[in-house]
Amino acid sequence: MLKAEPNGAHLGLAQLENDFDVTIITQNIDDLHERAGSTKIVHLHGEIFKMRSERSYAPVYEIKGDIQLGDKAPDGGQLRPHIVWFGEAVPMIELAADIASAADFFAVIGTSLVVYPAAGLLHYTKRDIPKFIVDKVIPSAATVNGITSIQKPASEGVPILSEMLRSLLLG
């Protein structure tokens, strides 16, 4: 992951901050949104370049190498990646739901809308705001409720989304 580079979608979303107050809610555990220049990111499933004690969610420490069995946090707990494993609670979902419910527009990018609880965030948005989905395959869940579909890979669809938002919201 250290060698991965932000793609056009990451860069395009970061550029939206020039005109809009943007908060990225991501299921990805990498830091590509940060490296692209986005400044407000909620990592629903945690961050791979951070670690914490197995006993608590905080404090969180930066990491770029491996965690070894026996590496302990100050509270004595084994250090572990600061990510959500399958079956664990998603501690950032309440913050994400609050952000979705306050949004003036909402875009879902590069997802099948089948991984919950993240897929449910769309249901927290206000009914009358513009909603968009950008994906190579538009999920059937996105064909209702006035969602504008952009059937493209994220790196191609985000520039289209950007133009639509600028036209719709900036006039």
Catalytic residues: 45
Give per-residue pLDDT as tens, 6-44: 999 999 999 999 999 999 999 999 999 999 999 999 999
Identify the band that residue 51 occupies on the pLDDT scale cut at 50, 70 and 90: very high
Identify the band that residue 145 occupies on the pLDDT scale cut at 50, 70 and 90: low
Identify the band that residue 143 occupies on the pLDDT scale cut at 50, 70 and 90: low
Q: What is the model's pTM? A: 0.91
The more confidently predicted of residues 170 and 56 is: 56
pLDDT at 110 over 80: yes
Task: Give the pair of three-digit tokens for residue 29.
Answer: 């555990």
Asked if residues 44 and 93 have their Cβ atoms less than 8 Å apart, the reply is yes
